């Protein structure tokens, strides 16, 4: 540790002596309340918080509050003592649109400035010292220091060309186990088969905390894997800041952007959720508000030159349809949810620093037409997806919001259910079918390789709703997509396949089985524990899913992170309502139960929970990660979620021997 006095302090002392002034409370130096990237350079643990791959871009930013009556008139950033020469247009000084409170909870003083240097990068591995110096209008200077690390890459191995990351949202160990019990069966203590993800040769455990909580949500939960840094809950691809604008936050370059810029790789995103949802967006979109759907879907298209977006498939058509109605009406006549209030216009310095599209507040935009004009084939159902062949680029939007779940899609295909008709989308593809199509499109012009993220979104959404049968079948569907990726990697050995989750959801636990009578009586006494649980047996149809989940002695699930619910220990014919669905009041699905507290309220028994609200919540429990293919051996052990990014970086840039 060095103890030399910085020259600017010596200057200030000299100035004070010259003028004969004294430093008093009223003339205290301006205060720097935040320096970005976040760091803790005095930490005894010596954990470097912010880490980047060589050349990976990120924004430097500071929040500076001047003395009363003064203002900030200049600033500079320095790395390792060398002042950065800010290129024209990559600095900004924001003095309006600030949050009323600073990060420490105190009121934001007048004239507080947020100063930025956009799109910085360093190619030099190691821990670097970061300094910001701000100059106040009365000549006083203030400096704050932090650090960040550039993680070096070991060269000379065989590199991974393609990366497929399959993310089972909310999928903890219990979700995987339950899917295996249901679809493979156990006898005499042994599983009668393995999930595709069980057969991956390398498995690790991942710590899932976000920047501001031990319990993450899906936005930082995904983003940390693909930019290497912790983010606050609800924020994706950015560090937190002190401005109100949700799209101007300091950016961190995503894996897709980094690999597209340096290696020409393309990006595919496949999800069973609405494509604006946190997990898909946290691969390509930079915002501190995961709920800003209009701007999120616009940025997919407008910044495709940064990400290499080639495939985008899932639900969420409501964000792509032009809002033709009265802009103040709660629901547009065609189902559009586009609003100026969830759209963006980027500040000029961000546009210049990143080469990003400036954006526009355009609720009337026909985004499907704009995708088509940009060369994307557009498909709206499974029949259209199959008929599209292998286009160069593909947009698939199969429902207004989140797609229906496997349980209901499969029962529709079997002629046993009209739930997907109730939602208005009778012909939705399964996740494995979407994955197969995405791999064909991405493989078509694949000189440089691709990064494909495939999300099984409703493992999480149905676990929140404590609809056990639906999330178990959702995990089965997800594993079928894993098999598609596994088969692709078997044919293309320069592919790395990773299967993991962003966090555990609901504290799910397999607590036993129903006593072997049908129907089970809705009470706690129904739960057969230990040896009384035996080995639940399901009959699997040719389509790969159980003929029914309501078998005698069926597996029973408990929740450790639950809200109140009524439990019958049987599957529910109707899914619980999805509040993101437009037209919910007018469709037949308005008959579906609105919450787990209303589902089976007449026939079930009350299971009281520990958390407020109507849904189960995420937990902080570590989650499993399985890997196969080129570089998979890097993924053993117990590690932080941000470590995954650097392991991918090693596999892709340096390779493995």
Binding site for Zn ion (CB under 5 A): 460
Alpha-carbon torsion (407, 409, 411, 414), positive or negative: negative
| Residue among 435 and 506 whose Cβ is closer to Zn ion | 506
| Residue among 460 and 643 whose Cβ is closer to Zn ion | 460
Token pair 């002695």: residue: 553
| Residue among 281 and 441 whose Cβ is closer to Zn ion | 281
Q: Which helix or strand (DSSP H or E) is residue 59 part of?
A: strand 58-65
- Least Å distance, CB 446 to Zn ion, is 33
- Least Å distance, CB 579 to Zn ion, is 14
- Least Å distance, CB 502 to Zn ion, is 8
- Least Å distance, CB 337 to Zn ion, is 20
Token pair 């004294």: residue: 22
| Residue among 67 and 460 whose Cβ is closer to Zn ion | 460
**Nearest alpha carbon to residue 364 among 338, 342, 344:** 338
- Least Å distance, CB 595 to Zn ion, is 16
- Least Å distance, CB 8 to Zn ion, is 47
Contact 599, 615 (CB under 8 A): no
Token pair 């196969």: residue: 628
| Residue among 433 and 467 whose Cβ is closer to Zn ion | 467
Tally of residues, the chain: 657
**Rounded distance between C-alpha atoms, residue 527 and residue 536, angstroms:** 13
Contact 286, 299 (CB under 8 A): yes
Contact 287, 235 (CB under 8 A): yes
**Rounded distance between C-alpha atoms, residue 180 and residue 194, angstroms:** 7
| Residue among 235 and 343 whose Cβ is closer to Zn ion | 235
| Residue among 343 and 460 whose Cβ is closer to Zn ion | 460
Beta bridge partners of 205: 624, 638
With CB atoms as reference, the residue minimizing the distance to Zn ion is 460
Alpha-carbon torsion (634, 639, 641, 645), positive or negative: negative
Token pair 């450790």: residue: 560
- Least Å distance, CB 161 to Zn ion, is 32
Residue 424's region, left for phi above 0, alpha for psi from -120 to 50, else beta, is: left
Helix 218-227 vs helix 255-263: crossing angle, to nearest 10: 30
Can you tell me whether residue 543 is helix, strand or coil? coil
- Least Å distance, CB 170 to Zn ion, is 5
| Residue among 460 and 474 whose Cβ is closer to Zn ion | 460
| Residue among 337 and 619 whose Cβ is closer to Zn ion | 619
**Rounded distance between C-alpha atoms, residue 246 and residue 285, angstroms:** 12
- Least Å distance, CB 110 to Zn ion, is 40
Quickly list DSSP for 341-392.
Answer: GG-----HHHHHHHT-------TT--HHHHHHHTT-EEE-SHHHHHHT-S-S
Give the DSSP letter of residue 327: T
Quick one: how far is CA 612 from the chain centroid?
Answer: 24
Q: Rg of the chain over CA atoms, in angstroms?
A: 26
**Rounded distance between C-alpha atoms, residue 634 and residue 509, angstroms:** 29
| Residue among 98 and 561 whose Cβ is closer to Zn ion | 561
| Residue among 111 and 458 whose Cβ is closer to Zn ion | 458
| Residue among 303 and 460 whose Cβ is closer to Zn ion | 460
| Residue among 76 and 462 whose Cβ is closer to Zn ion | 462
- Least Å distance, CB 220 to Zn ion, is 12
Both tokens assigned to 300: 């997919």
| Residue among 460 and 477 whose Cβ is closer to Zn ion | 460
- Least Å distance, CB 157 to Zn ion, is 36
Q: What residues contact residue 253 under an 8 Å CB cut-off, 6+ apart?
A: 56, 57, 58, 121, 227, 261
**Rounded distance between C-alpha atoms, residue 311 and residue 236, angstroms:** 20
- Least Å distance, CB 329 to Zn ion, is 29
Q: Which helix or strand (DSSP H or E) is residue 281 part of?
A: helix 278-281
End-to-end CA distance of the chain: 38
**Rounded distance between C-alpha atoms, residue 175 and residue 471, angstroms:** 8
| Residue among 56 and 615 whose Cβ is closer to Zn ion | 615
- Least Å distance, CB 618 to Zn ion, is 5
Beta bridge partners of 252: 58
- Least Å distance, CB 653 to Zn ion, is 32
**Rounded distance between C-alpha atoms, residue 16 and residue 18, angstroms:** 5
- Least Å distance, CB 535 to Zn ion, is 30
Both tokens assigned to 393: 């680029």
Contact 35, 132 (CB under 8 A): yes
């Amino acid at each position: 540790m060095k103890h030399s006095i910085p020259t600017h302090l010596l200057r200030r002392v000299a100035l004070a002596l010259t003028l004969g002034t004294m430093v008093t409370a009223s003339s205290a130096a301006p205060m720097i309340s935040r320096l970005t990237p976040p760091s803790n350079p005095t930490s005894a643990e010596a954990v470097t918080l912010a880490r980047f791959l060589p050349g990976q871009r990120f924004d430097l930013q500071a929040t500076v509050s001047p003395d009363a009556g003064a203002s900030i008139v200049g600033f500079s950033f320095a790395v390792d003592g060398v002042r950065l020469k800010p290129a024209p247009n990559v600095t900004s000084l924001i003095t309006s649109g600030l949050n009323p409170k600073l990060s420490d909870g105190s009121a934001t003083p007048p004239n507080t400035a947020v100063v930025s240097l956009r799109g910085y990068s360093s190619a030099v591995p190691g821990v670097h010292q970061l300094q910001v110096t701000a100059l106040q209008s009365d000549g006083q200077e203030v400096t704050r220091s932090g650090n960040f690390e550039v993680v070096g890459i070991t060269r000379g191995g065989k590199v991974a060309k393609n990366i497929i990351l399959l993310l089972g949202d909310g999928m903890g160990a219990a979700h995987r186990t339950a899917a295996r019990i249901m679809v493979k069966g156990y006898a005499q203590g042994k599983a009668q088969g393995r999930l595709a993800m069980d057969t991956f040769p390398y498995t690790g455990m991942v710590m899932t905390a976000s920047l501001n909580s031990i319990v993450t949500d899906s936005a930082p939960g995904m983003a940390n894997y693909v930019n290497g840094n912790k983010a606050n809950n609800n924020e994706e691809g950015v560090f937190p800041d002190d401005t109100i604008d949700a799209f101007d936050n300091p950016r961190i370059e995503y894996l897709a952007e980094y690999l597209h810029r340096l290696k020409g790789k393309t990006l595919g995103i496949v999800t069973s959720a609405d494509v604006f949802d946190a997990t898909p967006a946290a691969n390509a979109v930079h915002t501190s508000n995961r709920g800003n759907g209009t701007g999120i879907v616009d940025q997919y298209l407008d910044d495709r030159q940064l990400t290499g977006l080639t495939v985008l498939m899932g639900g969420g058509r409501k964000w792509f349809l032009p809002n033709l109605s009265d802009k103040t009406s709660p629901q547009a006549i065609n189902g559009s949810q586009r609003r100026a209030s969830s759209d963006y216009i980027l500040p000029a310095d961000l546009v210049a620093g990143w080469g990003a599209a400036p954006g526009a507040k355009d609720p009337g935009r026909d985004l499907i037409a704009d995708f088509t004009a940009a060369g994307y084939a557009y498909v709206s159902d499974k029949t259209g997806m199959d008929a599209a062949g292998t286009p160069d680029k593909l947009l698939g939007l199969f429902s207004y919001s989140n797609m229906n779940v496997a349980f209901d899609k499969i029962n529709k295909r079997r002629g046993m259910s009209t739930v997907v008709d109730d939602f208005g989308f009778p012909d939705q593809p399964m996740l494995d079918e979407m994955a197969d199509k995405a791999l064909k499109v991405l493989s078509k012009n694949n000189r440089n390789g691709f990064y494909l993220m495939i999300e099984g979104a409703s493992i999480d959404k149905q676990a929140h709703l404590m609809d056990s049968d639906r999330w178990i079948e959702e995990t089965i569907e997800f594993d079928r997509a894993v098999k598609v990726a596994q088969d692709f990697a078997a044919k293309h050995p320069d592919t790395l396949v990773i299967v993991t989750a962003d966090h555990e959801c609901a504290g799910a636990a397999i607590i036993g089985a129903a006593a072997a009578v049908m129907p089970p009586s809705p009470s706690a006494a129904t739960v057969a524990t230990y040896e009384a649980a035996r080995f639940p047996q399901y009959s699997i149809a040719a389509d790969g899913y159980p003929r029914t989940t309501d078998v005698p002695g069926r597996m029973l699930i408990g929740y450790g992170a639950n809200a109140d619910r009524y439990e019958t220990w049987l599957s529910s014919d109707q899914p619980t309502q999805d509040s993101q669905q437009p037209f919910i009041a007018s469709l037949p699905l308005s008959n579906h139960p609105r919450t787990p507290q209303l589902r089976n309220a007449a026939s079930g028994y009350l299971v009281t929970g520990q958390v407020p609200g109507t849904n189960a919540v995420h937990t902080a429990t570590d989650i499993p990660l399985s890997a196969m293919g080129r570089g998979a051996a890097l993924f053993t052990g117990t590690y932080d979620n941000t470590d995954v990014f650097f392991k991918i970086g090693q596999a892709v840039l340096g390779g493995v021997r």
